[in-house]
Every structure is written in structure tokens, then in C-alpha cells.
């Protein structure tokens, strides 16, 4: 453990991280976001899911620095009388949960498909990649919207809302796996003719063992790079679906559904229900994207930005 | 070249078959055509009779082939809510969406070209850094948030621009089909915010693309030669360099226009724009499955057609694609 920590400290990865201010600031903000989402029940002043503590008389109170604001609610309250800051922390928690879950699912499907297609080649490759290509030619958001629409009709709105978290993970996972499949396949194609694979084959290891234990670890760099960007994408997709009313219900809002519920009030000048969660979401996605960009540059020195 | 075109078209037809199969399977599984026809107040016996008469008890394959035959005749089923053929409903809503996409495309072209060229020529200037920083921010902004913020600033606070609907429209062909907003002042005002928000998703991408292509071209030998000949900088930048960055940009543009259709669902929801995307969400709320499937098939074919066309055009321009095949 100590040795690997020392090795990490001496690595080029850590060295360039220390020298890049943007990456460091983004990383710190990201860690704060993750802590907030993990510790939401401990940090937030109120529990937005506890209907007993919510008073509808408190609804639509502006942020504390306004005259009508109340020092009880720092960022004001939403249309149901929930403390906006607490609801945002819980919303972030849901967004992060769905984002990570969806990326795990995408990665699982994509890596299995890409690894099999790339290593097996031939007909298996042609069939699998044709499938990925067909789905890839449609924008993933469109696919996600369509799958969720079908699910919503299939389950009925009531039970869809109860199952919303696992369903959204499945929807976003299913709509974006081709990205992984293509990337993994490309790196497997580059790896599979190298000597170490040849050596593994000569000593008589079985195909699945070579694929998983030998080829896969050498493609993980590209997995890491796309995973960061994909988390950002998944969080954005979740927000978009929730905004369209195809995602999280208002009783258990993610950032997207919070923005949606605030949008109905924006014409009467109640801006905080929309803008605060919005800024929160943008900042979260922005730091992930910045980190992803930086990581791509460091891990892939051939691809220097112009 | 001929073989290449044939191969691409076969692929396109294959993809369309798969889409129609998915669409039909969904319809078959969760749709209820008897309800679409007669509503809820019919006895179960009569329902069973109608089911039998409509051939809904036939095997899946037979029903699918019948569905395909109808599709080739332009019959995509009956919309439950509108009591009209689903295709008619979609065609009626298409002009609004097309105008939105057209307006957004116009904005993208007009803004991304000068900004892309400028940031390529002066990569170190403060303005360039500002533009590039802004485009990173733009990538991280969901389109509905851009739209909401525009509405809040220009609609609610400043009262400069209207924030929903299409405003006054003019009947273009005299048969009530294409109501255009481009010919009245009010219609144009209503177009500005939706088009700007739709354009905002693609703008960062195109600025970056034009910038990196342009910077690559500026390093080439023939540009150095043009400088040596003593041509004016404007001529070198715009005629010699920019013309050669256009090819990849145009290709990407063709594909991205299709992707913009997906984002019209979000933009139209925010602005209550009566187009195809708004219709789609209403259809979801009303469980109007025939209309959903019709939308899937129409949008799917638009996509496949655009992709195929771009590929074939690209094959004409760049012969290496034809030989290698697309992978």
C-alpha cells in the first residue's frame, strides 16, 4: 500500500496534476460535490423527504438576503415549502447516484461487447459492431427519451415514479453503451496482436482468461478517460429526462426535476427555485468535463489540443 | 462508386427494417388498436370480435408484414387523440420544427465561422481565450437551462422578447399547412430565443472544430508558399486556408443537424413551440402509442436518409472512403 502510494506520487500523472491549476481546482470542487452528495442527510439543515417537517405556508420564500427572506432558509424555499438548499443536496445525491449507476451499466455492457467483438473478430465482430453502429447513428438523448417514454406507458406513471432511480439507470445505460463498445474495440484491436497476448496463447490460456486478465487491463486507460466524460453526460441526460417529466418525480426531486418545478413559477419572478439548482448542475458538469479534458491530454500525449 | 452507393443504400434499408421492427414490437406489446378505434365503452365480446376482424390474433410475423405494407403506402396508423392518421398529424407539426432547426442552423453558421477563424488566427489573444473558455462552459450547459435563463433575462426581466408560442404566422402555400413565422415581425421575435437556445448546444462544437481544422491548414506548405508569393493576408486566410477547412466542417454539420432534432424536444417544451417535439411529449402523456411509433419511424427515416446522403456525398469528395468502406 505504502509503496504504491509512493509510486503514485512519483508518477507523471500526479506531476502534471500538481502543475495544472484548472485540474486541481476542478478536482477540489468535485470532491466537495461528492462529499455533499454522500453526506446530504448529515449536512443539510432539513430533510426534504420528511413531509411532517414541511409546512406549505413556508412555500416560495426568497433567499435570506432579500427583505422578505427568512434566516431559517438560506437559499429560500421551493413551491412545496421545502428548504431549497437541503433539497438541492438531496437532489445532487440522486443525480450522482443515477449518473454513476448508469455509467457502470454502460461500461459493463460496452466493455463486454467491445472486448468480445475486438478479440473474436470475424462474424461476431461484424454483428456486434453493426448493432452498436446502428444505435450510435441516433443521438443518445433521443434514444433515452424514447426508451423512457415507452417505459412510462408500459409501467404507468405511478409505478414508474416509484421505480424511477433503477429505471433511469437502465435507460441511460442502455442508450449510451455504444461509446464504450467502440472505444474498447479500437484499443483491443491494437493490443491483440502484441507479443504478450501471443505468449499467453502459447502457454495455453483460454480465450476468456486472456481477454479479461490480459487484454482488458491494457485498455483501461481509455476506459478511464471516457468514463469521466460519460458521468457528466449521464448526469445531463438524467436532468433532461427529469425536466421533460420522464425522470424523477417532484416528491423525490433530482436537480433536473427541481429545475422543472421551478420553471412553472419563473414568470411570476420566482427565479431561485430554477436558477440555484441550475447553477449547481452546470458547475458539477463543468468540473467533470474540465477534469476529463485534462485527463485525456495527460493519458494520451499523442492527442495534444491544438 | 456505384458499388459504394449500392452498399450504403442496402445498409440504410436494413437499418430502417430494424427500426420498423422495434416500433412494431412496441406497438404490438403495449398498444391497443381496439381502444384507438372504438374507445373504452365497448363490451369485451365486441372487443374480441373486433380483434379477430382486425387480424390482431394472427402470428407476429404476419402482422409485421401487414404493418410494413401499410407503412410503404404511407399509413402509419391512427392517432388515438387526434382521430386522424398519425402521419398527417406529424406532417402538420413538421414546419414549426423545421423553422426552428433552420433558424438555429443559420445562427450557428453566422457565428461559428468568424469566431472559429478568429480564434485560429489569434490563439493567444484575450478575446480568443475568452471565447474558448465560454465554449467549454457552453458544453456543460443543458439546453433547457440556457433556454430558461434566456427567458428569465429577456422575457421576464427586460420584456424585450416574447417567451413562448410562435406569434403571428403567415400561411405560406394558401392551404393552411405551412404557417411560417419568418415573414412577420412578431413571428421573427418569437423565433429569436428558441433558435438561440437550440443553437447554443452546437455552437461550442463548431467553433472548436473550425478552429482546430483551420490551425492545421495554416501549418501546411501551400500556405507558406502563398505567404512567400506575397498575397494579402485576407486572401490567404479566407480563400486559401478557410476553403480547405470546409470539407470536414460540412460533413459534421450534416450529421449534427440530425442531432438537433433530438434537442428540439427540449427546446419546444420550454417555449411551448407547437412542433413535432412538443407533440411527442403530449403523445407520451396521452399514451397515444400509434403517434409515438409514427414519430419514431418518421424521425428514424430522416436520420437514416441524412446519414446516408452525407456518406455518399463524402464518398464523391473523398475517394479513399469508397475503397476502405466505413467502419
Chain A nearest CA to B180, separation (Å): 26
Q: Is residue B75 part of a domain?
A: no
Domain of residue B124: give its range. Answer: 89-245+264-279
Mean pLDDT confidence for B109-116: 90
Contact between A169 and A254 (Cβ < 8 Å):
no
Q: Which helix (H) or strand (E) holds B170?
A: strand B170-171
Q: Is residue B96 part of a domain?
A: yes
Contact A141 B304 (CB under 8 A): no
Q: Tell me the average pLDDT of chain A.
A: 84
Chain A residues in contact with B156 (beta carbon < 8 A): 266-267, 269, 271
Q: Does position A207 have pLDDT exceeding 90, yes or no?
A: no
Q: Is residue B62 part of a domain?
A: no
Q: What confidence score (pLDDT) does residue A304 get?
A: 41
Q: Does position A306 have pLDDT exceeding 50, yes or no?
A: no
Q: What confidence score (pLDDT) does residue B322 get?
A: 60
Interface subset of B 77-136, CB within 8 angstroms of A: 123, 136
Find cell 437559499 and name the residue: A75
b or e along A174-193 (b: 16 or more beta carbons within 10 Å of the residue's beta carbon)? bbbbbbbbbbbbebbeebbe
Torsional class of B275: left (φ above 0), alpha (ψ -120 to 50), beta (otherwise): beta
Nearest-by-Cβ selection for A150 from B26, B145, B148: B26
Chain A residues in contact with B151 (beta carbon < 8 A): 266
pLDDT tens per residue, range A113-148: 999 998 888 888 888 888 888 888 788 888 888 888
Q: Is residue B183 part of a domain?
A: yes
Contact A243 B258 (CB under 8 A): no
Chain B nearest CA to A212, separation (Å): 25
CATH number of the domain within which B156 lies: 1.10.3720.10
Q: What confidence score (pLDDT) does residue B35 get?
A: 66
Count of structural domains, chain B: 1
Q: Is residue B132 part of a domain?
A: yes
Q: Does position A166 have pLDDT exceeding 60, yes or no?
A: yes
The lowest-confidence range among A235-239, B36-40, B51-55 is: B36-40
Return the higher-pLDDT residue of B30 and A154: A154
Q: Does position B324 have pLDDT exceeding 80, yes or no?
A: no
Say what percent of chain A tops pLDDT 70.
95
The runs of H, that is alpha helices, within chain B are: 2-30, 33-38, 44-53, 60-72, 86-121, 126-139, 143-150, 185-218, 221-229, 233-234, 243-271, 276-285, 289-317, 319-324
Contact B215 A282 (CB under 8 A): no
Q: Does position B292 have pLDDT exceeding 90, yes or no?
A: no
Entry pTM: 0.85
pLDDT band with cut points at 50, 70 and 90 for residue B325: very low
Q: Is residue B61 part of a domain?
A: no
Query: What ipTM score was computed for the predicted complex, to two decimals?
Result: 0.82
Q: Is residue B231 part of a domain?
A: yes
pLDDT band with cut points at 50, 70 and 90 for residue B33: low
Q: What confidence score (pLDDT) does residue A99 get?
A: 92
Chain B nearest CA to A261, separation (Å): 12
Q: Is residue B122 part of a domain?
A: yes
Contact A244 B216 (CB under 8 A): no
Contact A150 B149 (CB under 8 A): no
Amino acid at each position: 500500500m505504502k509503496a504504491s502510494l509512493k509510486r503514485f506520487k512519483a508518477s507523471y500523472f500526479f506531476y502534471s496534476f500538481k502543475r495544472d491549476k484548472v485540474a486541481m481546482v476542478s478536482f477540489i470542487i468535485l470532491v466537495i460535490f461528492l462529499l455533499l452528495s454522500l453526506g446530504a442527510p448529515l449536512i443539510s439543515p432539513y430533510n426534504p423527504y420528511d413531509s411532517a417537517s414541511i409546512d406549505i405556508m413556508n412555500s416560495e420564500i426568497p433567499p435570506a438576503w432579500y427583505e422578505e427572506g427568512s434566516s431559517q432558509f438560506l437559499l429560500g424555499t421551493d413551491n412545496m415549502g421545502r428548504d431549497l438548499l437541503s433539497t438541492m443536496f438531496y437532489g445532487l445525491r440522486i443525480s450522482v447516484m443515477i449518473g454513476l449507476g448508469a455509467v457502470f451499466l454502460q461500461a459493463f455492457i460496452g466493455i463486454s461487447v467491445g472486448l468480445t467483438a475486438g478479440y473474436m473478430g470475424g462474424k461476431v465482430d461484424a454483428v456486434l459492431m453493426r448493432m452498436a453502429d446502428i444505435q450510435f447513428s441516433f443521438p443518445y438523448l433521443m434514444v433515452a427519451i424514447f426508451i423512457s417514454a415507452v417505459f412510462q406507458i408500459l409501467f404507468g406513471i405511478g409505478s414508474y415514479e416509484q421505480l424511477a432511480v433503477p429505471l433511469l439507470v437502465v435507460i441511460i445505460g442502455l442508450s449510451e453503451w455504444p461509446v464504450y463498445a467502440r472505444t474498447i474495440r479500437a484499443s483491443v484491436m491494437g493490443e491483440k496482436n502484441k507479443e504478450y497476448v501471443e505468449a499467453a496463447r502459447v502457454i495455453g490460456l483460454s480465450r476468456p482468461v486472456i481477454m479479461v486478465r490480459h487484454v482488458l487491463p491494457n485498455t483501461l486507460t481509455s476506459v478511464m478517460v471516457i468514463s469521466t466524460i460519460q458521468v457528466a453526460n449521464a448526469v445531463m441526460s438524467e436532468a433532461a429526462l427529469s425536466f421533460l417529466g420522464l425522470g424523477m418525480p417532484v416528491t423525490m426531486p433530482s436537480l433536473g426535476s427541481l429545475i422543472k418545478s421551478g420553471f412553472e413559477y419563473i414568470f411570476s419572478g420566482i427565479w431561485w427555485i430554477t436558477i440555484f439548482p441550475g447553477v449547481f448542475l452546470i458547475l458539477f458538469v463543468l468540473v467533470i468535463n474540465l477534469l476529463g479534458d485534462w485527463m485525456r491530454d495527460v493519458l494520451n500525449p499523442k492527442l495534444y489540443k491544438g | 462508386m456505384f458499388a459504394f452507393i449500392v452498399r450504403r443504400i442496402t445498409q440504410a434499408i436494413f437499418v430502417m427494417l430494424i427500426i420498423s421492427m422495434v416500433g412494431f414490437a412496441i406497438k404490438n406489446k403495449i398498444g391497443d388498436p381496439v381502444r384507438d378505434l372504438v374507445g373504452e365503452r365497448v363490451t369485451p365480446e365486441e372487443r374480441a370480435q373486433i380483434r379477430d376482424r382486425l387480424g390482431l390474433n394472427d402470428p407476429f410475423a404476419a402482422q409485421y408484414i401487414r404493418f410494413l405494407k401499410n407503412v410503404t403506402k404511407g399509413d402509419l396508423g391512427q392517432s388515438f387523440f387526434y382521430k386522424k392518421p398519425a402521419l398527417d398529424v406529424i406532417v402538420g407539426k413538421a414546419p414549426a420544427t423545421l423553422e426552428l432547426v433552420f433558424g438555429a442552423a443559420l445562427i450557428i453558421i453566422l457565428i461559428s465561422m468568424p469566431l472559429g477563424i478568429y480564434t485560429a488566427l489569434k490563439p493567444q489573444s484575450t478575446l480568443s481565450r475568452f471565447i474558448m473558455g465560454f465554449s467549454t462552459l457552453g458544453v456543460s450547459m443543458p439546453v433547457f437551462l440556457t433556454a430558461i435563463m434566456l427567458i428569465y433575462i429577456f422575457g421576464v426581466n427586460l420584456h424585450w422578447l416574447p417567451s413562448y408560442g410562435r406569434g403571428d404566422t403567415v400561411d405560406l402555400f394558401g392551404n393552411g399547412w405551412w404557417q411560417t413565422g419568418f415573414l412577420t415581425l412578431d413571428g421573427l421575435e418569437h423565433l429569436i430565443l428558441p433558435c438561440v437556445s437550440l443553437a447554443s448546444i452546437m455552437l461550442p462544437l463548431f467553433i472548436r472544430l473550425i478552429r482546430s481544422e483551420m490551425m492545421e491548414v495554416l501549418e501546411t506548405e501551400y500556405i507558406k508558399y502563398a505567404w512567400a508569393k506575397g498575397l494579402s493576408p485576407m486572401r490567404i486566410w479566407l480563400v486559401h486556408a478557410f476553403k480547405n477547412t470546409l470539407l470536414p466542417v460540412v460533413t459534421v454539420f450534416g450529421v449534427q443537424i440530425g442531432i438537433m432534432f433530438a434537442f428540439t424536444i427540449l427546446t419546444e417544451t420550454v417555449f411551448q413551440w407547437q412542433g413535432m417535439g412538443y407533440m411527442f411529449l403530449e403523445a407520451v402523456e396521452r399514451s397515444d402509442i400509434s403517434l409515438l411509433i409514427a414519430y419514431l419511424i418518421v424521425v428514424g427515416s430522416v436520420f437514416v436518409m441524412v446519414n446516408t446522403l452525407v456518406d455518399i456525398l463524402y464518398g464523391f469528395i473523398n475517394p479513399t472512403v469508397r475503397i476502405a468502406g466505413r467502419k
